[in-house]
Structure 1
Amino acid sequence: MKLFSWLSARVPTLDATTLARVGQLPAAKPLDGCSLREQRWIVVDLETSGLNLHRDQVLSIGAVVIEDGAIDLGQCFERTLLRPGQSINPSVLIHGLGPSALAAGSDPAQALLDFMEFVGDSPLLAFHAPFDQHMLARALKDSLGYRLQHPFFDVADMAPLLCPHATLREAGLDDWIGYFKLHVEERHNASADALATAELALILFSRARQQQIHSPLNLQQRLDQWKRRRQSPSF
């Protein structure tokens, strides 16, 4: 009985309008042979209350769109999630998400639903994507009962794959920004970090085409091969 009570407590209660919107979300589109330029990409960055994958919460989502080979500044997403009673980790203040910003945020379920409507069926890009993917998937499941199945590409893996002569190892976003001498006016909030990641991704897509990687599917295959080689004992 306790088991069933626990399971029922994990299912979010949603109103009819929200349930209908969740039901209308498009399924993730499988990766195919369309060109990297033709593909619509969502570049996302999350700010969270900490780095614990199981306990911490998504506080802010920032995203931009890459389409037709360019960043489309007309398609941007920025939302702070309201967390009533959320204790403020000191690191949150670094990102400008103090108590007033959080208090003015949106209901998490509505903000996450708005974001997935913005994403549509497109694949996502993030720097250190496994963290963002896990946190986003957990937030969607907890708030909407929605299972995230969209492909996620990790720009932190794409960079060393496509720039094998770079001497950077275990590099962060700032390291690659410096390597390519990108001019980034602002950092350390979700929208600014998403934009910086998008600028880096455009350079990497150009490098990919030079290496005969022309489609998202081909890029995913090359990334999988690269990661298998890195994990082999002889690497």
Structure 2
Amino acid sequence: MSLPIPRLFKNAYNSIWREWLIYHLADERYKFMFDKPPKNEWVVLDCETTGLSIAKDQIISIGAVKINGNTLMTSERLELLVKPDKEVSAESVKIHRLRELDVANGLDPEIAAAKLMQFIGSRPIVGYYLEFDVAMLHKVIWRMLGQGLPQEKIEVSSMYYEYKNNQRPINQRGQMIDLRFDTLMKDLGLPVREAHDAINDAVMTGMAFIKLRQLLGK
């Protein structure tokens, strides 16, 4: 049986690990990402890509919006087109409606990543199936920093699972829950924007995050 690690030791470990990461940061201009995050602030992130393969596909647009408390700061948002070095397939155009012509004058991936990191700062990052978006970004950011994004990551689908699971009788907890985004939004009674647009998806995810924080008492 493993014993719980005292908070004091956890804090010491986290502090040592943070200093190690800063020391090995390839570009010290991004040390600000390790600062103490502003209280009750987050950044919601969404990326559109040429496909669903982390190994083969690339980001073509980024949408991000800030949250302050229970307010979605739609006036403080970031919308970027990113130029890929591979052809945008007809299949992906059907999903996100971004043609090769649309992204031809997009930003270089490293410039886009730099703008995004400046926008996020040290705030926790919120997303829906965020692991995929972060993995796609890390393909670029690791080349720049020698490491990935250090900010806390918050998964909205996990919050929704926790909320729905808590509503069930104890003997039914842990069973499968429909985590599809349209199901989540409808169940939470939230307005839906046109999907597969990076900023629209970020705004909708932000609304879901705020509602779920309230429902979970977080």
Shorter-chain TM band: 0.7 to 0.9
Following the alignment from structure 2 to structure 1, what is the Cα–Cα distance between the partners of residues 28 and 134?
Answer: 21
Following the alignment from structure 2 to structure 1, what is the Cα–Cα distance between the partners of residues 125 and 34?
Answer: 10
Residue 181 (1) aligns with residue 189 (2): yes
Residue 54 (1) aligns with residue 60 (2): no
Partner SS state of residue 66, structure 1: strand
Q: Which residue of 1 aligns with 2:33?
A: 27
**Coordinate RMSD, CA, aligned:** 2.4
Segments of structure 2 that go 5 or more residues without pairing to the other structure are 1-26, 169-174
Q: Give the superposition deviation at 1:91.
A: 2.1
Partner SS state of residue 27, structure 1: helix
TM-score between both structures, scaled by the size of structure 2: 0.76
CA contact (8 A) 2:65 2:78 kept: yes
Residue-pair matches, total = 185
Partner SS state of residue 52, structure 2: coil
Following the alignment from structure 1 to structure 2, what is the Cα–Cα distance between the partners of residues 104 and 178?
Answer: 36
Following the alignment from structure 2 to structure 1, what is the Cα–Cα distance between the partners of residues 53 and 45?
Answer: 19
Q: Which residue of 2 aligns with 1:92?
A: 93
Residue 198 (1) aligns with residue 206 (2): yes
Alignment CA distance shift 1:67-1:168 (3 Å): farther
Partner SS state of residue 163, structure 1: helix
Q: Give the superposition deviation at 1:87.
A: 3.9
The percent of aligned pairs where both chains have the same amino acid is: 27
Render the CA deviation track for 1:48-86: whole Å, top value 9, x for unaligned: 111112221111110111113200112101101012443
Partner SS state of residue 171, structure 1: coil
Q: Give the superposition deviation at 1:181.
A: 2.1
CA contact (8 A) 1:46 1:59 kept: yes
TM-score between both structures, scaled by the size of structure 1: 0.71
CA contact (8 A) 2:59 2:84 kept: no
Segments of structure 1 that go 5 or more residues without pairing to the other structure are 1-21, 214-235
Q: Which residue of 2 aligns with 1:102?
A: 103
